[in-house]
Amino acid sequence: MLSLRFLLISDLLNRVINDERHKVNYLNQALAYLYLYKMRRRPLSSSATSNSSISHESGDTGVDKGLPAKDSVGITKRSAYGILALFVLIINGSWAVHRYQFESMPVPLTADQAGKRGFSEEEAMKHVKALTELGPHPVGSNALDLALQYVLAASENIKKTAHWEVDVQVDFFHAQSGANCMVGGLFKGRTIVYSDLKHIILRILPKYASEVEENAILVSSHIDTVFSAEGAGDCSSCVAVMLELARGISHWAHGFKNAVIFLFNTGEEEGLNGAHSFITQHPWSSTIRMAIDLEAMGIGGKSGIFQAGPHPWAIENFAMVAKYPSGQIIAQDLFASGAIKSATDFQVYKEVAGLSGLDFAYTDNSAVYHTKNDKLELLKVGSLQHLGENMLAFLLQAGATSHLPKGEAVEANGKTGYDTAIFFDILGIYMIVFHQRFANMLYNSVILQSLLIWTTSLLMVSLLLLPSFYRSYRHRQYPMFQAHVWKRKANLSSVTQADLAKLDAERWLFKAGLIQWLLLLMIGNYYKIKSSYLALVWLVSPAFAYGLLEATLSPGRLPKPLKTLTLLMGLSLPFLISAGMFIRLAGTIIGIAVRFEKNPGSTPEWLGNAMLAIYIAVIICLTLVYLLSYVHISGAKLPIILATCILFSLSFAAILSGIVPPFTEDTARAVNVVHVVDTTEYGENQEPSSYISLFSTTPGKLTKEVEHIGEGFICGREKVFDFVTFSVQYGCWTQNDAGSGWSKSDIPALHVESDRKGTDRITRVSIDTKVSTRWSLAINTEEIEDFKFKENSEELVPFGEKSSVDGWHIIQFSGGRNAPTSLSLNVDKLPFPSRVPRSTDEPSLPFLSRLRKSEFCRASQVAELFPNVSPEIVVREARLEDCWEVAGTHCSSFFPEYSFPLDFMLRTDRLVAMLMGFSVPNGCRRTCLIAVIGSSVDGSSFGSEDFKIGGFDGNFNLNKGYVAGILTVDTVANFLPRKGPHRQRRTRIAYISNVAVRERFRRKGIAKRLVAKAEAQARSWGCRTIALHCDLNNPGAIKLYKGQGFKCIKVPDGANWPQPKTSPDIQLMMKLLNTLTTC
């Protein structure tokens, strides 16, 4: 046989030499014989083919004459279970990365553990509690004065306990009037005017080094809050961290070469006024070389760096010394793009003072930002310790250095932007920092090499494809790949070529993912997007794995299925770096969607959901493109499609049914209730009108809220409310009780003092805001060219170019209680508009037609306007749609220490137990009672009250409310044997169990109402006694039950009573019921 093959090959080679016309065919046949000989000596790998062999092809028949036909290549499909395992690994691995990177907190330290020089969260938490107990403390409020006094007293105490070689200087600074005329970000088209602001400033430096005063590091945050929040996150937590840092630094600073200034400012929530007044008015501001701002756009969690620079010194040194480094450059890109509608004091320090530095922010629970749920209970344990230890290490490094960047260096670096830093952390334990210059070189190098490799590959493939593409019409599937396979192995059968083409297609799908990320890297590099490093990681790592494990330089090698190791090796690093951040960004989008509408009613309700869905879809498409190649020839296509459809259907059904509520007790929809006095038509013959306006920055209708409040609200788009700084295009309004609470004498007045007419019109207007120290005024820039704003004789806003938005420039004023109420406005270069008659005797003010005064757009306390808006508590039987919240209430009360995913698993277990494990003896009665907030007994319902599952009523109600407490009552005790010779049964006894009230609703009488409802239920069953077990370690519960008439009872030995498993120390308590009926 061997000699026969060589004779055949020799004959074919002779024909190649002698027959010019058919030499190509003869050469291909000779190569096929050589390949067959080689493959018989070394069989195909089982990983490439299964039960495969090669058949020879000759001419159009596909079989060489005189040779036996062989079997075609058979491709073994990947197991669906294997693909499912990869999906599970990616999902769980991503969540594990997110949890470790963003939710793993350091252990809080006590004062003894931290020592004099360390940071103690226990001590910092005392400051947070003291500040939040004051309630909301906005500018101009009495609560803010109390907060200032508290911070001042804490600062004086730091001064007393400082190291004897450290000088701690405390300054209670009273800022005068000023104007913030920044034009970037949220300040475009605005001038922010402030007055009567107070700040607490600490300067810590060595006593015997006077030159240290000339170089200082600023650490800044704000004391004031918004009107609706106590500000545990924004930013009492920041103030507390700064006070504890100042205490620690006061014992380190004797060896410093730079002073450290701690600025506790007010007015940040009104337009960054505190930082601006300090930078422009305080004498210490000229000594600052670097600024660190502490902020919050949520509450708790890891405080990460979301802005750094422009000089890279700060972020580089932070990365070197921070114990728990956290920061992502993608957050800076999003913030700079305007996608996040917010601003921090760092903008003032960078734009006005020309400083470089770092900007930190808490971002957990971003949906509660600036809402009433910004409260202490949501502040995660370890949050303050994380920021405090990072900041302490950085300040020790920066305070002892003599190389702080000077103002000239910062300005030069800021102008070029060429050497700014790119930074990101890996799992919160290591931070990578490199310069933009290095990034440009690296990106350009990778792009050029990738283009070179791809161009070479495509050229080589084209040379193979073009001569053979004409034969591809014979194959219905993958014609281009089969043509390529035919050219490489022309003598293979058509079935074999089709199988090998699938393997080639699998590899090209993998390469398509590389092309996708290459394009993103090119776009990011062109526009200098700093987060382009993500595209680099997702391109280089899979390409390296593919080249190492899959690529070959042998032209005769047949394609093989991709190795699973290639996928695991290629995606490990990208997922490690970016998976946690992608999940965190989804939470940020949810937080943005909750307060998405600047002008309520201006966007459709579904837009926020669409944004989140598009983001998730884009992330899945970009990151799982490599996995798609493995699904290509697997048997998992149909199961994946079915599983996706089922998951979507279940999720959609859960949302529509209300099992998964859009808002929870920790993330409530913010609704604004404003008392409005409309004076636009106010004059001699027209009285001002007043009404109550109800609106929300969260997209969606206010139907449920209006039904709950009552008070005759009418909702719609017919009445547009113009609040100067924003407009309400969809809202609700009522005139009930709107006529009280204001006086005509408090209506602001605009007086034209002079109106000089000529080529240009110059008008002087006096503004009397009466008692208001917070107001907004809009100036029509299409009518005027410039204006000047004065307080008494002091010029706050000079003539000069003013920016505008939609043809309006807004002057926004805010200040303390002693802020001026009489101001003047000079309008210059005002051409006469055609619609203003020149002959009028009374000067008109078409350019000042929009004025809002805080006292006449009054954000009053909701309870003062509508007593009925206080949460109504309704105790009723639980229904099936309540079961998920009932399980959540049970778990959060009895197992509060559990977190995701254990809490989810436990909640699911409780749900199943309640629905399926409530088997009771025949004749026994059982029901689950719940206390709900925001529910009504009457409402649209459907179902059957006679149908019950596990004590749950089978009736459904569309207005189910929020479950705040639960209780189970039954007559199971009647069916348990008792001690005694006659084995008599207990009769007419009801038993209470599973009494639980969510933490935020405790001490509101909910448990009493549940127990009272259970007693009433037991009486309706004819029971004469009701019993329960109480934990002896819970004195509050014992006091509650004794107050309800329960008494402690000793259980006879051997009696078979229901025995709780939550605590070993329990006491049986019973109460006699007044009833004469039989059970």
Quick one: three-class SS letters along 571-609?
Answer: HHHHHHHHHHHHHHHHHHHHHHHHCCCCCCCCCCCCHHH
State the DSSP H helix or E strand holding residue 767, giving kind and residue range, or none if neither.
strand 761-768
- Owner of token pair 């005509």: 744
Decide if 960 contacts 658 (C-beta within 8 A).
Answer: yes
Alpha-carbon distance of 678 to 852, in angstroms, equals 10
1071 CB-near residues (< 8 Å, 6+ apart): 1015, 1025, 1026, 1027, 1044, 1045, 1046, 1047
In total, the chain counts a number of residues equal to: 1079
How many Cα atoms within 13 Å fall on the side-chain side of residue 788?
13
Are β-strands 774-780 and 850-853 bridged in parallel, bridged antiparallel, or unpaired? Answer: antiparallel
Distance of CA 356 to the CA centre of its chain: 27
The two structure tokens encoding residue 52: 């495969």
Alpha-carbon distance of 1015 to 698, in angstroms, equals 42
Alpha helices in 721-765 (DSSP H): none
Which of 970, 872, 878 has the alpha carbon at shortest distance from 918?
970
Which of 202, 204, 234 has the alpha carbon at shortest distance from 300?
234
- The DSSP result for 306-317, as a single string, is EEEESSTHHHHH
SS3 of residue 794 by DSSP:
strand
**Out of 33, 626, 991, 1041, which one is annotated catalytic?**
1041
Are β-strands 962-970 and 989-997 bridged in parallel, bridged antiparallel, or unpaired? Answer: antiparallel
Decide if 344 contacts 357 (C-beta within 8 A).
Answer: no
How many Cα atoms within 13 Å fall on the side-chain side of residue 991?
20
SS3 of residue 855 by DSSP:
helix
- Sign, CA torsion 705/711/715/720: negative
Measured at the alpha carbon of residue 331, what is the angle toward residues 329 and 334, in degrees to the nearest 5? 115
Distance of CA 165 to the CA centre of its chain: 45
- Cα→Cα distances 46→52, 53, 76, 140, 796, Å: 9, 11, 9, 79, 83
CB atoms within 10 A of CB 458: 11
The two structure tokens encoding residue 562: 């991709």
Are β-strands 926-933 and 808-815 bridged in parallel, bridged antiparallel, or unpaired? Answer: unpaired
Which of 455, 422, 266 has the alpha carbon at shortest distance from 330?
422
Which of 1008, 55, 990 has the alpha carbon at shortest distance from 497?
55
Looking at this protein, which amino acid is placed at residue 472? S
DSSP state of 325: -
CB neighbour burial string for 273-293, b if at least 16 within 10 angstroms, e if fewer: bbbbbbbbbbebbebbbbbbb
* Neighbour-count burial of 158, counting CB atoms closer than 10 A to its CB (0-12 exposed, 13-18 middle, 19+ buried): buried
Q: Is 349 marked active-site? A: no
Alpha helices in 818-944 (DSSP H): 862-865, 883-894, 902-916
Which of 883, 873, 887 has the alpha carbon at shortest distance from 933?
873
Catalogue the active-site residues.
1041
